[in-house]
Structure 1
Amino acid sequence: MSRFSGKTVIITGSSNGIGRSAALLFAKDGANVTITGRNADRLEETKQLLLKSGVSEKNINSVVADLTTSDGQDQLVNTTLKRFGKLDILVNNAGAGIPDTTGAKGTDQSIDTYHKTFQLNLQAVIEMTKKVKPHLIESKGEIVNVSSIAAGPQAHPDFVYYSLAKAALDQYTRSSAIDLIQHGVRVNSVSPGAVMTGFGEAMGIPQEGFKKLYDFMAQHKECLPSRVVATPEDIANIILFLADRKLSSYIIGQSIVADGGTSLVMGTQAHDMMSILTAP
């Protein structure tokens, strides 16, 4: 029997990147999966990837929804329960650095950008957690949040609101873990470093820009000691580990850092990252 047979998982932000890889791994390991995103075409790509890997359509619930709205959240939870009858695991993966519409950087970014950044990266997690809480208490389930090394103690002036939101998410992970473990529900998170995903496109930066950045980091050991940029599957495997109670039952409220050693040195901050990202 596959290790997630009979389990049902909601994976937010699963139309691309880490969420897509996590959906594939969960489904191949026996889980029923609810995949979701705002881009219908990309979400369909995720669904087709699962089907081509041998996952049955009856094990897939595909929902185009805006996670930052209450209606979108309700749609995710309600369709999952209607289709699969239960919920065992919530993966709060959706997140993005929201670009300022004026092009402002650092402390010049607007308060509107601040609110949008927190709405997606923190508030949506809080709201989803509240809405699935009774169902996860019933199943003695798991929550895995996807944070970032941007939440760490080092400064991130180019992504100031994003790093603030992820730092708050880390505290929410710790606090909600203690609140929910009394009901048998575990909460943990993973904090990735450089991962080749579609993250840049959400910020309005072409994928080639982030490839330039990651190539630069991989060539400089003060930025990425391992000299290797992670794949989405590298992080997805950690998500599955944290969702597997047999393997990680004694881990409560922790964040596993997966960054190739970057946060131990953080020489990245000695370079002008935005100029690398946007270089012709």
Structure 2
Amino acid sequence: MRLEGKVVVITGAGSGLGRESALLFSREGASVVVTDIIERRAKDVADLIGERGGRAVALKVDVTVESDVAEAVAAAVRQFGRLDVMYANAGVTVPGQGTVALEDTTEESWTHVHDTNLKGVFFSIKHAARVMKDQGGGTIVVTSSASSLAAYPSFTIYTASKGGVNALVRGAAFDLGKYGIRVNAICPTHGMSVNFGLPADAEVVGRSYEEVSGPWDPTYAPMPLKLRRPPNLLDNAYAALFLASDESAYMSGVCFPTTDGGTLGRVAIQFPEGWELAQQAAFAGDNENP
């Protein structure tokens, strides 16, 4: 098992990618401190891990409150004796899910998004590093977003917060590497949770946007890669697992897209089927009539 004997704290683990990662990490041998701003959600995940033979404790944590994050780290040490992996996963989207224009965005929205997505990651890195430094090393994983690499329309303040996360990851990797602490981020594109756009206390769906959008037809999939199934939460969780495990021992300061399917590899101009033939014909015509 890839995390045998390791102790992990995961923020925002009551639903979505955090929940999927908590279950996966437990299956891979980790003891997990499951944290969420909704205490019931955290407890449900911890109970499920216990029912499946794993070890987990639940804790209510608001990542915008530094003392909450510090307590999550302390709980790991108190319950399991150490902290090997901090997975700073908690995040929020923009109010209105892209329906509010940039010029109409409020200061309160900016503060809420940045306090959760950026300051919460800073608190997670800060307090995990204090313990890991004394232990002689550790691993920090962060959930960023593909929007940090290519802007999403009407999600500008979210994009700004995730761009800040990537810079924070690179800087922290540089500062903490001398202590044997690695810091990396995943930047998911597809396969993210429906719950991400729902209220914090909504029912946990446990499926991706693509999985609930209707019958899957790869012909009309939004990504260039055509597979017979839609992307899901586990696709992203496996990338986080790789960064949490010793398999990525010499990776640090890296922010890489996950469940991308080639989306970030294409240009904005859309090329229809058969465009090459039309292009060749056009050039042939030009050559005949210089």
CA RMSD of aligned residues (A): 2.9
| Secondary structure at the counterpart of residue 257 of structure 2 | strand
Percentage of identical aligned residues: 28
Paired with 2:234 and 2:171, the residues of 1 have a C-alpha distance of 28
Distance verdict in 2 for CA 1:158–1:235, change over 3 Å: same
Which residue does the alignment assign to 1:76?
Answer: 72
1:200-279 superposed matches below 5 A: 200-202=197-199, 210=209, 220=220, 223-227=222-226, 229-245=230-246, 247-258=247-258, 259-265=260-266
Distance verdict in 2 for CA 1:15–1:219, change over 3 Å: farther
Paired with 1:241 and 1:209, the residues of 2 have a C-alpha distance of 20
Which residue does the alignment assign to 2:282?
Answer: none
| Secondary structure at the counterpart of residue 182 of structure 1 | helix
TM-score (norm: length of structure 2): 0.80
Decide which of 175, 182, 185 is 2:171's aligned counterpart. Answer: 175
Which residue does the alignment assign to 2:139?
Answer: 142
1:122-161 superposed matches below 5 A: 122-139=118-135, 140-152=137-149, 154-161=150-157
Unaligned runs of 5+ in 1: 270-280
Distance verdict in 2 for CA 1:99–1:87, change over 3 Å: same
Paired with 2:217 and 2:113, the residues of 1 have a C-alpha distance of 25
Paired with 2:201 and 2:30, the residues of 1 have a C-alpha distance of 34
Query: Which amino acid letter does the alignment assign opposite residue 248 of structure 1?
Result: S
TM-score (norm: length of structure 1): 0.83
Bigger Cα Rg: 2
Decide which of 91, 95, 115 is 2:91's aligned counterpart. Answer: 95
How many residues were matched structurally? 261
Which residue does the alignment assign to 1:65?
Answer: 61
Asked if 2 retains the 8 angstrom alpha-carbon contact of 1:195 and 1:231, the reply is: yes
Asked if 1 retains the 8 angstrom alpha-carbon contact of 2:17 and 2:192, the reply is: no
1:41 Cα deviation from its structure 2 partner: 2.8
Mapped pair 1:191 → 2:192: no
Unaligned runs of 5+ in 2: 271-290
